[in-house]
Structure 1
């Protein structure tokens, strides 16, 4: 049987290269390859419904609807009738969409030309009774005062990106038991700004299945999208049970692995941020299993904060090199291995900040700190890269500025005892911590909240690690892992 998805995919491959990058970026829309569309359609569970009401917002040329309808035509669903509603804002794609959905003579297709957010929020938000929704929504930030943001707010949706807005609306419009399958960036899982979106979803739906691509650039490789994508299946009003997790390297799905996890491994019960973790193995990591690694930062008497100096806001106070009246300003570029080099004339960043009434509140007293880069570079093997700030590197300075692209561990906005700072750095630079962190944290950055939610060895154990570290001028990854192994054994 000829599958209409193949026709839609042929059109996608012809249309996509001809669509200007500027146009794609303006709409934030990247069309779904056939292999992903088929996989997504395959994620819906069997259904005994007589009538299917299918929603495809941001439908493009119709690949997702076609994949779903092909599955129905092949006898996989027992629906007697299918009513499909597809929204598409891009006039250049609407004709293709009409053609592709029109090829299913038994389907009642309603193609709506226009902006899904605008149209769905025009009236008070209520379930439109969709039984199934399949979507690859646009990816684009929504500014706080935009028409989209205000329209969403009017129906109780507070979110920062078009993709999460589309998913929230699809969930709201689904009838009881409605199934929603979406391919979206993984940033909603633990981005702090997505907290209201996570709460919105948890109040209305159960997470049933999540699929993770191991490679960051393979899901939309034709469009050169470097984005960690996830496919999620939600059930409107469903009872939350265990979650199926599947992974594959890329969109060929040839190395598909499947596991199932209790929900308390997906969302940790006492996590105030309600971060969504995507464990990729059923085995617990060495860190999770170790009785020695069980303390919160609060129990250690420590805090972690994002570096408070946002350079573009304090531009007038920045200086290329230290001069009278300045204190050191530390960027990630100053961090070298486990320490810091300052000043660095060739850094292309300021090395100093004026100390005055306007900058004082952003400064920390000079002392020992453990700092972690918020963004790790491609060359770095670990996601978490920790360094020690040693006050001797900054001469007799009494204060330090920490730039926004790092997180720092401190005691009530003051320095740490040296062995504790060094011990923290050793612990955070271990392979075991990195593996545990990667398993649960999808975004490429390390936020202060991520570090706050981690468990740590006790204060004495960290100090012992720091005392051990002081004996060596250079410490290899192997040495760190062996030493941590003794602690966690």
Structure 2
């Protein structure tokens, strides 16, 4: 049950949200934490007797610090807390002050003294200065914390920015403010210090966050991962469409099993917990250090990795993002096919994994001119497997694969793929029909979709993610293709039964 003071804090958050300067909100990427989420995050700390010092970078109005104080009070075995809150936006400093004052007064009634400091400065600049000063010849003492709780800003860092230069000076290479905040906070934790953060899942995979993943894995143990089933619930008051994850880390602790929890939304009414060995979270032989997050029941029931044995290179198949960026080739696009053009395939040409071309009612072009400027973007007509790069928030599956059949374009020797499609091909030529059909069945299975969601937090399907996938071998793909070709109509149920059979060793 949420305390009345936490409810008051939540009301303060909503009031502050309405009064936030829109330009500041955009510049500082401000999305404040609902009290229910803040309380859950605070519950993940394993509080120890003794010194309690809390770092709250990007504090906003103090939702997370308030929840932490509330948690400490409930433990009844601490006598004092020291909190350092960093908030760059001076316009909400008053809200932060009032919130911390209320909670410190409340703590005093429970014989707990709260000392709190508000730093109205840039957390990255200040932290880098503090850490570098500590490493200098003058050896300034570095303040370190026993706990850190954060909802950092989400915003890209440009490669030529001062942030990138400062972070690089500490050996921190990252591309977003949120990962910079986490990396710096790890540096500021004392040994065995704990950090709990709510951040986008985007760091779990992809090449850009590889140095950040390695920073986490080198310096901390992963204790807990929490997922929200819905993409738009964690910060619903701000209409944020973003897959978020709550992560709990301990600095310099030997890695043990990882607790994974999942809930539909920030009410946590249907939360479920499961423990996994660390080898199921980060695979030992993975050079990318992808962080997988198993879904509670699906991992054991659909261990698709049993049949994922071959890389694309071993299959002799390439994967590329569709090369036609329409706004760059606008003068060469045609709404309808005509002499001197070839088919242009967009995601809108697919429905229920089938290709419908041309599309008479489409606002998108159906064709592209064949000339010297477009020739290099064209593929030889043939069988292809394509996967849409973007899925809507209503989409049940992240992976949506389809087969492109050359019979649909009987008079075309070449075709073109628009940039919102990922294309499986062999040197810009088609792949064998049965391989194409087999790949489509495999990628459209619920088991594969769940596996993909374990490490991909993007709202899009990146070619890099699919390139790092493992696939069934050619023999298995051909068998899947033969099965698919015999079906009058392939339903999701039939696909899942077939793939589950393969997982359980039934290759017939």
Q: Deviations over 1:117-145 (max 9, x none)?
A: 23223455466412211111122233333
Q: Distance in 2 between matches of 1:37 and 1:371?
A: 41
Over 3 Å counting, the alpha-carbon distance change for 1:98 and 1:293 in structure 2 is closer
Aligned to 2:96: 97
Secondary structure, counterpart of 1:176 in structure 2: strand
Aligned to 2:55: 55
1:388 Cα deviation after fit: 0.9
1:31 Cα deviation after fit: 1.5
User: Does the 8 Å contact 1:287/1:293 carry over to 2?
Assistant: no
5+ residue gaps, structure 1 = none
Alignment match of 2:115 (pick from 108, 121, 137): 108
1:370 Cα deviation after fit: 0.7
5+ residue gaps, structure 2 = 135-141
Over aligned residue pairs, what C-alpha RMSD do you find? 2.7
Over 3 Å counting, the alpha-carbon distance change for 1:299 and 1:181 in structure 2 is same
Q: Does 1:447 align with 2:462?
A: yes
Secondary structure, counterpart of 1:74 in structure 2: helix
Over 3 Å counting, the alpha-carbon distance change for 1:118 and 1:324 in structure 2 is farther
Alignment match of 1:165 (pick from 180, 183, 204): 180
- 1:15-414 pair list within 5 angstroms: 15-19=16-20, 21=22, 23-48=24-49, 50-76=50-76, 78=78, 80-103=79-102, 104=104, 106-122=113-129, 124-125=131-132, 128-281=143-296, 284-285=299-300, 287-288=302-303, 291-378=306-393, 380-414=395-429
User: Does the 8 Å contact 1:285/1:432 carry over to 2?
Assistant: no
Alignment match of 1:432 (pick from 447, 450, 457): 447
1:181 Cα deviation after fit: 0.7
1:2 Cα deviation after fit: 7.7
Aligned to 1:9: 10
1:350 Cα deviation after fit: 2.8
Q: Distance in 2 between matches of 1:282 and 1:343?
A: 42
Q: Distance in 2 between matches of 1:285 and 1:75?
A: 36
Moved more, 52-61 or 369-378: 369-378
Secondary structure, counterpart of 2:52 in structure 1: strand
TM-score after normalising by structure 1: 0.90
User: Does the 8 Å contact 2:64/2:149 carry over to 1?
Assistant: yes
Q: Distance in 1 between matches of 2:373 and 2:172?
A: 37
User: Does the 8 Å contact 1:46/1:76 carry over to 2?
Assistant: no
Q: Distance in 1 between matches of 2:305 and 2:167?
A: 45
Moved more, 187-196 or 472-481: 472-481
Q: Distance in 1 between matches of 2:283 and 2:383?
A: 32
1:190 Cα deviation after fit: 2.0
User: Does the 8 Å contact 2:16/2:95 carry over to 1?
Assistant: no
Secondary structure, counterpart of 2:209 in structure 1: helix
Q: Deviations over 1:178-210 (max 9, x none)?
A: 211111122221244322221222222221111
Q: Distance in 2 between matches of 1:237 and 1:438?
A: 28
1:485 Cα deviation after fit: 4.3
Q: Distance in 1 between matches of 2:58 and 2:321?
A: 37
TM-score after normalising by structure 2: 0.87
Q: Distance in 1 between matches of 2:184 and 2:47?
A: 24
User: Does the 8 Å contact 1:46/1:77 carry over to 2?
Assistant: no
